[in-house]
Amino acid sequence: MTPMAAVNDFVVKFANVNGSGSASANELFARCILRMGVPVASRNIFPSNIQGLPTWYEVRVSGEGWLGRRGGVDLMIALNPQTWDSDVAEIEPGGYLLYDSTKPMPASKFRDDIVVLGVPLTALSNSLEGTIPRERQLLRNVIYLGALSALLGFEPEVVENLIGKQFKGKDKLIALNMKSIALGHDYAAEQLAGACALKVMRSDKVGERIFIGGNDAAALGAVYGGATVCAWYPITPSTSLAEAFMRHCKLLRVDKETGENKFAIVQAEDEIAAIGTVIGAGWNGARSFTATSGPGISLMQEFFGLAYFAEIPAVVFDIQRGGPSTGMPTRTQQSDIMLAAYASHGDTKHVLLFPEDPRESFEFASIAFDLAERLQTPVFVMMDLDIGMNDWLCQPLSWDDSRRYDRGKIMTADELEAGRDFGRYLDVDGDGIPYRTLPGTHPTRGAYFTRGTSRDRYARYSEEGAVYVDNMQRLLRKFDTAATLVPAPLRRNASETARFGAIYYGSTAPAMDEALARLEAQGLHLDTLRVRAFPFSDAVTDFIHDHEQVFVIEQNRDSQLLKMIVNECAIDPARLIAVLHYDGTPITARFIVNSVAERMTLLGRKEAAE
Amino acid sequence: MTYIAKPKLHHRDIPTNALGFTHRDYEGRISTLCAGCGHDSISAALIQACFELSIEPHRVAKLSGIGCSSKTPDYFLGQSHGFNSVHGRMPSVLTGANLANRDLIYLGVSGDGDSASIGIGQFAHAMRRGVNMVYVCENNGVYGLTKGQFSATADKGSKSKTAVNHDAPIDLVSMALVLGASFVARSFSGDKKQLVPLLKAALSHRGVAVLDVISPCVQFNNNPQSTKSYDFVRAHNEAVNRIDVIESKAEITVDYAPGEVVTVHQHDGSLLKLSKLQADYDPRDRAKAMAYLQEHHARGEVVTGLLFLDPEAEDLHAALGTTKLPLNQLGERELCPGSKALAAVNDSYR
């Protein structure tokens, strides 16, 4: 057996027990590598549980900067007896296993084609004087971090700085944690010297980039985008978005002089009340949003129809998880696309945005509030668990201070006073977007009755067919306007003329980047189009017409975006090939390359034969 | 028909209020409800209450759910914005509207189907949160728009033309008391003398003011076996007090004999004078109010009046510590922390 050797290019996986406090040590591990200038991609793999069940944390170290999930494990830190067998089995041949060697394990529990690194974590933690058992359990995590820092060659000052930052102001904790680091480090340095040929070497590939989760970034986008009302109901994987909004608001949105809050956050009794509150606030001129996941979107359907038809701004963050029903609540998917696009009964269509990472989640969150008010309609920011709940390495968040919020068409008291004609559903500008007034604007002009029932251009109740059709046609014109306002798709052409194209969106982006490089290396040329919003622009149709065949890569079973493209852009389905990954894990470059390369070669061969 | 506008003409000598408005300025479109419907009397009482309080009509936002009762906001305060939302969800929509602009008066209109069945969850949580609003439930015990099915407030044993109600009734007043509402009243659409002062008191209350107004459905639930009919409620109405609302500006000139009258100051400076009709009833005691209601309900009486009041109540905005300036009036300058703050945020993620 040849032990695996690699510098800045390997996958580490931590197998822990839920509730053992491993998360912060694991995150520290990832940050140490980042501080050494080496990109990492980290992912939490966790069950729907608080304590006792298995949980994993996967860190892909990639000097080349590939941030998608790679697949496979090179170094396993196996700390969960429950999953020991499958964890050990998952290690690539020649890979490494680090385990707690306090108690002896039978030889049958190991493999002979991997390197076993025993560190007596429990025994070492018991040597920490003046600690209670719960502390020792937590410090055991810090001890393995110390051991890994020796095995992988972390710079000691990097570890020390991060510990100091994490426990800033708590000197006792800093000392205790550093002591634990030293315990692990010294043991590994003495007993396991030269045993591990996976190394982290200082590099300069991280640059200015930040390490942030999508929910956190989207919440910041809501703060910067001027959201003042948030109503939400706890549901994985969206909960941390609302909680992050609360945290950021407390830092950034409290009036320094008066101590008053420039925000209102309500934890509603259910998702229906959450969206009702958002719509009420939107009707009354505040920027408002909710964060939820698939089951919440299902519950909110009736209200989406109301907001569409009564034309009320609302922003909805859908952090998608595995469906249907409760499905896989802690796994990722892109399977609410159609549900959101056509939410509610009757003929409806909604604006969707597909951010590719936390940075774009920030950007699209802030844009969503402009779009919702400009278009007077719900706007869905379609994230997923992979983006939302994992820290991603991405470009710093940026804000242009000259940017002004687009509050849309609101008729003011002065305009009403000047005698301007107000028809709530009157298309004055030909873009399908009418003017609205806010309650309380003018004593005698501009009041109207908002309802989900059919009405004429002046908001007067009417069930006349022609009046109804007139309104529904205007809503379609408004949707055409939406297509010109949403973020355009991004096209990337291969180095040579390509017969094949690929369409993808959202969290598939990092895996796609890597897959493209690998395909190019194999001489397979693929143009790509990253769709960033619905309604689709003409660029989507053009892209498909520019290629003989187009792969549509999605993380759902039913090729939801593909079907929407076929229907909305009137595309012959035979031109499109679905590439679908939906087992709940994030899509990988390996999967894309395997799926795409095989079919590209096959189609090429078939043609040659003909 | 709703699309026929009422004539604007009126007699030149009809009274005006402090704002110079007549009661006609508080009217809406012509009702489309059945002749004799209790809901129309409630609309009329709302018009009178707002007129007498000299409320600027456009500073009221009217919100409702779905049903006969929820249609009524179109029939009063035509200069106010109205929002006829979805079935049973008026409380959440109103909560959002209230969060966006704390300066308006929020009037929620609902019915027994809307509040006690499909919307009982939202009713309950609106009480808990103390949203600053008047919550009027126009309670007739039936679903009118779908032609007479029993609602959840119908008493057990109530009979309609075709059915007997076997389910136990939900009493919204008792629920409101249990759930922490700070103003709880019950009245009868046929008793305008009681209803108008109660609405005025509710409009000047801070926090959630809930009024359960029994409002007979002449079409489907006004039969002799109904406990929500005009005749039944008149015969069994047990009013605990009479209320006078004295506005903060008005001079208090009358002396009241102690023991017969309870006076309560509200946040807005108004004074409520409650003449006791039942010697043992104190509307400031939540627990006793609940017991009283249970006892009298068991005797088949319909207890009406101001049943509970906490004049010191705070509302949701106080709990959330929101700015005095309405949130919908804040712009980039107040809301966007800017690029410099973002640089520091970025640093914390490195």
**pTM for the complete prediction?**
0.96
Q: Are B304 and B238 in contact (CB under 8 A)?
A: yes
Cα(A554)–Cα(A559) distance, integer angstroms: 7
What b/e sequence results for A139-151 when a residue is b if at least 16 CB atoms lie within 10 Å of its CB, and e otherwise?
bbbbbbbbbbbbb
Q: Is A115 domain-assigned?
A: yes
SS3 at position A521: helix
Say yes or no: A265 contacts chain B, CB-CB below 8 A. Answer: yes
A101 shares a domain with A181: yes
How long, in residues, is chain A?
A: 610
Quick one: pLDDT at residue B2? Answer: 43
Instruction: Give me A410's structure tokens.
Output: 């609101």
Span between the terminal Cα atoms of chain A, in Å: 47
Asked if A164 and A121 sit in the same domain, the reply is: yes
Report yes or no: B307 at the A interface, CB cutoff 8 Å: no
Does residue A191 share a domain with residue A117?
yes
Superfamily of B23-329 according to CATH:
Thiamin diphosphate (ThDP)-binding fold, Pyr/PP domains (3.40.50.970)
Q: Using the beta-carbon criterion (under 8 Å), do A228 and B58 form an inter-chain contact? A: no
Taking the C-alpha atoms of residue B80 and residue B85, their distance in angstroms, rounded to an integer, is 16
> CA of B196: how far to CAs of A343, A572, B99, B312, B337, in Å?
43, 66, 27, 23, 48
Average pLDDT over chain A, rounded to whole? 96
Size of interface A-B (CB pairs under 8 A): 232
Q: Is the peptide bond before A535 cis (omega within 30 degrees of 0)?
A: yes
Structure confidence at residue A563 as a pLDDT band (50, 70, 90): very high
End-to-end CA distance of chain B: 65
Chain B within 8 Å of A343 (Cβ-Cβ)? no
Bridge partners for A180 per DSSP: none
Each residue of B108-126: pLDDT tens digit? 999 999 999 999 999 999 9
- A396 in contact with chain B, both atoms CB, cutoff 8 A: yes
The two three-digit tokens of residue A465, written as one number? 């067919």
Does residue A10 sit in helix, strand or coil? Answer: strand
pLDDT bucket at B6, cuts 50 / 70 / 90 = low
- Domain extents for chain B? 23-329
Taking an 8 Å cut-off on Cβ atoms, the answer to whether A262 and B335 are in contact is yes
Res B3 pLDDT > 50: no
Q: What is the ipTM of this complex?
A: 0.95
Confidence label for B250 from pLDDT (cuts 50, 70 and 90)? low
Residue A467 structural domain: 413-485
Closest residue by Cα to residue B212 from B178, B174, B180: B174
Are A226 and B332 in contact (CB < 8 Å)? yes
* Cα torsion B154, B155, B157, B158: sign: negative
The separation between CA B328 and the C-alpha centre of its own chain, rounded to angstroms, equals 25
Q: How far apart are CA B128 and CA A542, in angstroms?
A: 55
Question: Residue A1 domain-assigned?
Answer: no
Who among B100, B331, B332 is closest to A281 (CB)? Answer: B100
Give the model confidence (pLDDT) of A387-436 as tens digits: 999 999 999 999 999 999 999 999 999 999 999 999 999 999 999 999 99
Are B97 and A283 within 8 A, CB to CB? yes
* Interface mutation vs chain A, best among B120, B335, B340, most A CBs within 10 Å: B335
Reported as a single tens digit per residue, the pLDDT across A277-334 is 999 999 999 999 999 999 999 999 999 999 999 999 999 999 999 999 999 999 999 9
Place of tokens 């005006």: B16
A248 and A331, same domain (yes or no) = yes
CA proximity to A236, closest of A299, A329, A323: A329
Q: How many CB atoms lie within 10 A of CB B315?
A: 20
Same domain, A525 and A465: no
Give residue B251's pLDDT. Answer: 53
CB of B1 closer than 8 Å to CB of B48: no
Q: What is the pLDDT of residues A454-492, one digit of tens each?
A: 999 999 999 999 999 999 999 999 999 999 999 999 999
Backbone φ and ψ of B110, nearest 5° = -145, 175
Q: Compute the distance between CA of residue A507 and CA of residue A94 in angstroms, rounded to an integer.
A: 31
* Pair A46, A189 in one domain: yes
Residue B1 has pLDDT above 90, yes or no: no
pLDDT of residue B248: 67
Query: Are A479 and A496 within one domain?
Result: no
Up-side HSE of residue A252: CA atoms within 13 Å toward CB? 29
- One domain, residues A417 and A389: no
Q: Is residue A252 part of a domain?
A: yes
C-alpha triplet A301, A304, A307: angle, nearest 5°:
155
Q: In A, which residues are within 8 Å of B317 by CB distance?
A: 264
| C-alpha span between A362 and A353 (Å, rounded) | 12
Model pLDDT, residue B58: 97
A591 touches chain B (CB under 8 A): no
Cβ atoms of A309 and A452 closer than 8 Å: yes
Give the whole-angstrom CA distance, residue A483 versus residue A349: 12
b or e along B164-196 (b: 16 or more beta carbons within 10 Å of the residue's beta carbon)?
ebeeebbbbbbbbbebbbbbbbbbbbbbbebbb
Same domain? A184 vs A216: no
Q: List pLDDT tens digits, range A85-130.
A: 999 999 999 999 999 999 999 999 999 999 999 999 999 999 998 8
Q: Identify whether the C-beta of residue B185 lies closer than 8 Å to the C-beta of residue B211.
A: yes
Cβ atoms of residues B169 and B244 within 8 Å: no
- Do A45 and A137 lie in one domain? The reply is yes
pLDDT at A225: 98
Q: How far apart are CA B92 and CA B328, in angstroms?
A: 17
Strand partners, B184: B210, B308
d(CA B328, CA A418): 23
The rounded percent of chain B whose pLDDT value lies above 70 is 94
Q: What mean pLDDT value characterizes chain B?
A: 91
Structure tokens at A570: 């009137």
Cα gap B128→A417, rounded to integer Å: 40
How many structural domains is chain A composed of? 4
Query: Does A460 contact B92 at a Cβ distance shorter than 8 Å?
Result: no
For residue B89, give how far its alpha carbon lies from the nearest alpha carbon of chain A (Å): 7
A505: contact with B, CB 8 A cutoff: no
Q: Packing angle between helix B38-52 and helix B192-203, nearest 10 degrees?
A: 50
Residue B81 banded pLDDT, cuts 50, 70, 90:
very high
Tokens coding A394: 């991405």
User: What pLDDT, on a 0 to 100 scale, did the predictor assign at position A610?
Assistant: 67
Give SS3 for A6.
strand
Please name the amino acid found at residue A297.
Answer: I
Inform me whether the C-beta atom of residue A450 falls under 8 Å from chain B C-beta atoms: yes
d(C-alpha B152, C-alpha A103), whole Å: 64
List the helix and strand counts (H, then E) for chain B.
12, 13
Query: Can you point out the beta strands (E) in chain B?
Result: 60-64, 81-84, 105-111, 133-139, 142-143, 149-150, 183-188, 208-214, 237-239, 241-246, 261-265, 271-276, 302-309
- Res A347 pLDDT > 50: yes
- Residue B249 pLDDT: 58
Q: pLDDT at position A607, please?
A: 67
- Residue B281: the pLDDT is 87
Q: Identify the CA nearest to A412 among candidates A376, A438, A443.
A: A438
Number of residues assigned to chain B: 350
Is residue A58 in a domain?
A: yes
Residue A33 to residue A465: CA distance in whole angstroms? 65
Under the banding of pLDDT at 50, 70 and 90, the label for residue A236 is: very high
Instruction: Tell me if A408 is assigned to some domain.
Output: no
Residue A405 lies in a domain: no
CA distances from A386 to A35, A513, A582 (A): 23, 16, 13
Report pLDDT digits (tens) over A575-606: 999 999 999 999 999 999 999 998 898 877 66
Residues of A in Cβ contact (< 8 Å) with B323: 255, 258, 260-262
Pairing of strands A54-62, A40-45: antiparallel
Using alpha carbons, list the distances in angstroms from residue A11 to A40, A93, A209, A294, B286: 9, 13, 21, 31, 63
Asked if A450 and B82 come within 8 Å (Cβ–Cβ), the reply is: yes
Shared-domain flag, residues A496 and A458:
no
The two three-digit tokens of residue A497, written as one number: 């003329």
- Whether residues B93 and A231 touch (CB distance < 8 A) is answered with no
Task: State how far residue A559 is from chain B, nearest Cα, in angstroms.
Answer: 33
pLDDT value of position B257: 54
Token pair for B160: 């309609």
Domain boundary among A199, A225, A244: A199
| Residues A17 and A47 occupy one common structural domain | yes
Q: Identify the residue among B31, B80, B89, B104 best suited for mutation to test binding to A, counting A beta carbons within 10 A and taking the highest.
A: B89
Ramachandran category for residue A583: left, alpha or beta (phi over 0 → left; psi -120 to 50 → alpha): alpha
Beta-bridge mates of residue B309: B183
Q: Where are the beta strands (DSSP E) in A310-451?
A: 314-320, 351-353, 378-384, 391-394, 449-451
Q: Tell me which residue of B167, B159, B149 sits closest to B227, measured CA to CA.
A: B159
